[in-house]
Chain A
Amino acid sequence: MHLNRYGQVGIFMASAAGLQLAAVAAGRGFLLTQMTMSAYYTLAVLGISLLMGYAGQISLGHAGFVAVGGYTSAVLTTLDLTPYRAQPLVAASQGLGLLLARPDLYGGELLVVQPLVACILAVALATLLAFVVGIPVLKLKGHYLAMATLGVGTIVYSLALGTQWLGAADGISSVPPFPLPFGASVGGPAGGRVVNYYVAVALLGAAMLLLLNLVQARVGRALRAIHGAEDAAAAMGVDTASLKLKTFVLSAALAALAGVFLTHYNGGIGPSEASVMKSVKYMAIVAVGGMGSLWGTLGMSLALNFLSLRGYFGAYDDVVFGLILVGMMLFAPEGLLALQPRRALAALRLRLRRREDGEEPR
């Protein structure tokens, strides 16, 4: 039976619910914490899947965008504005209901930015950053965007690490929960674990649906066309540079959104969230999930992030992802699902035979 996109997302949500019930029934409800975090990381990974698989661009700095989202939200929702109450901008914001007074740990009162407003500002900042970085490099060949995004990731990392008001090596903690309708929230007391899990799954499902729609729509078709034959796409009137830029910006916005929710969920964020290795991890997941396969990427991302967060790879976490990356690119650049062992073997045999014949393989 061939399911449409809505059906597919429905099945995903149902399986997620099944997993939750199974975890709780098995008395291992604590696993939901890592499952929730995996879902948020997957949100960022999906954007990279779109960028790599459809627009054919590499980003080595998406962890930077996750961190921009997370840190912006963290700063805005923890920075006490009480001393600046008289400032026109702060006063006006308060008048508009953009600020929130909440109790701090010691019984005093903090005046901070509303989490929703902070979230919007965080995503907007990441979007702007991606736009500025993307304009020049997307007109050039692949390695420029790779290096430039690596640069962005490194800058964000070293700024986070070296700036006192961003908490330096400790990062920012005591970030408040993100309030949602019906009394739910992202983050907060451990009792909300199940609610938090479903919030994350719902967000992921919604994002997945939007992206599935997109790749089937006119824009997605044009992106796939660019991947197939860029010059022909341009000759058909596809503004290739603009589409790639927009895809890059969209993926950065998704990463920032993931960063915001992850930060509220964990109650804080540290500089390691921006590290280059994180970006490489995201890329490795897309590589193993399959270029241009959103479902493959989603599945792999949930699984690998979960295993990594649970510490299954131990001290070899980075090695595992490095090996995945190299192995996938060497043997199955289209992803695991596209792997055709028999065909690969045949190709290898042909190559060996040619070499025996003294012919240079091309």
Chain B
Amino acid sequence: MTPFLEVSGVSKRFGGIQAVSGVSFQVRRGMIKAVIGPNGAGKTTLFNMVSGFSAPDHGTITFGGHPIHGCRPHQVAARGISRTFQNIRLFEHLSALENVMVGRHLRSRAGFLAGMLDLGWARREATAMRGLALEVMAFLGIEALADAEATSLAYGQQRAVELARALASDPELVLLDEPAAGLNMRETRDLAGLITRIRDRGITVLLVEHDMSLVMEICDEVLVLSYGEKIAEADPRTVQRDPQVVKVYLGEEEC
């Protein structure tokens, strides 16, 4: 298969710290890939570069053949990459449903004029947006939360709303930044099933995760970062046996 997301030789420096240096990897369509590594390995920086939140100092990122490094976040999103955040970023004062509807912003087009004049087509579009948002929420089993104020929900529910929001734009690739953080064992198991089902919908998944059992269970490939450099990239079993990876994770459980 041809690479879908191709990251080649990207580096990023913050002041005196080389957060990411010369990392290259590919994500193929339809796979679940994880980026793991100890704290400060540069995982989130890498994610921010892929999603347009920061531009790499060097290197290129292409998605579906188009260069996306240096694009602004909304432009990256328009190319079909959606994301969640490590510390959940839901929209305050908006209901859960409205949060998910913002996720469909890209796939709708009513502007200032249509909105102000409350035009028929804009209304129909809004109704369709609502329907699709509810559908995504039903897929995640959270349609009952639709009218609750998003930021008042329980932690696990907020994660689910954020995930629904990310999926609502019908992305081709979704970036999940530590989706299992703060979840209990059962919730994590549910999440594993969910991510597999997201993949089965034809959405490629790239995730940063600390929970090794989750990564080993669902991922097709794992990329390991340490101090901003790639130290391994293979299927979960191979990575688990890689002596360098073991060394990096020495002392951490489950590895």
Contact present between A and B (CB < 8 A): yes
**Residues on A close to B: CB < 8 A?**
210-211, 213-214, 216-222, 224-225, 227-229, 231-240, 246, 250, 292
A217 touches B110 (CB 8 A): yes
The proximity string for B residues 69-93 relative to A, scoring 1 for CB distances below 8 Å and 0 otherwise, is 0001110011000110100011111
Cβ of B145 under 8 Å from chain A: no
Max chain A Cβ within 10 angstroms of own Cβ: one of B92, B108, B116: B116
- A232-B115 in contact given A218-B108, A218-B125, A218-B126 (Cβ < 8 Å): no
Nearest 10 Cβ contacts at the A-B interface: A217-B115, A228-B91, A237-B77, A237-B106, A234-B73, A232-B89, A228-B92, A210-B116, A229-B89, A213-B118
Which chain B residues lie closer than 8 Å to A292 at the CB level? 93
Instruction: Give the shortest distance, in Å, between B97 (CB) and chain A (any CB).
Output: 10
B129 touches A218 (CB 8 A): yes
**Residues on B close to A: CB < 8 A?**
51-53, 72-74, 77-78, 82-83, 85, 89-94, 98-99, 101-103, 105-106, 108, 110-112, 114-118, 122, 125-126, 129, 165-166, 169
Instruction: Give the shortest distance, in Å, between B96 (CB) and chain A (any CB).
Output: 13
Which chain B residues lie closer than 8 Å to A214 at the CB level? 112, 115-116
Cα distance A235–B129 in the bound complex, in angstroms: 18
Sample 28 A-B pairs with CB under 8 A, ordered by A number. Answer: A213-B115, A213-B116, A214-B112, A218-B108, A218-B125, A218-B129, A219-B111, A219-B115, A221-B105, A222-B105, A225-B91, A228-B94, A229-B90, A232-B89, A232-B91, A233-B91, A234-B53, A234-B77, A235-B51, A235-B82, A235-B85, A236-B103, A236-B106, A236-B165, A237-B105, A238-B102, A246-B112, A250-B112
Which chain A residues lie closer than 8 Å to B116 at the CB level? 210-211, 213-214, 217
Instruction: Give the shortest distance, in Å, between B123 (CB) and chain A (any CB).
Output: 9
Q: Other than the known A218-B129, A229-B91, A234-B77, what 20 A-B pairs have Cβ atoms closer than 8 Å?
A: A210-B116, A211-B116, A214-B112, A217-B110, A217-B126, A218-B108, A218-B122, A219-B112, A221-B102, A221-B105, A225-B94, A227-B91, A228-B92, A228-B94, A229-B90, A229-B92, A234-B52, A234-B74, A235-B85, A246-B112
A237 touches B125 (CB 8 A): no
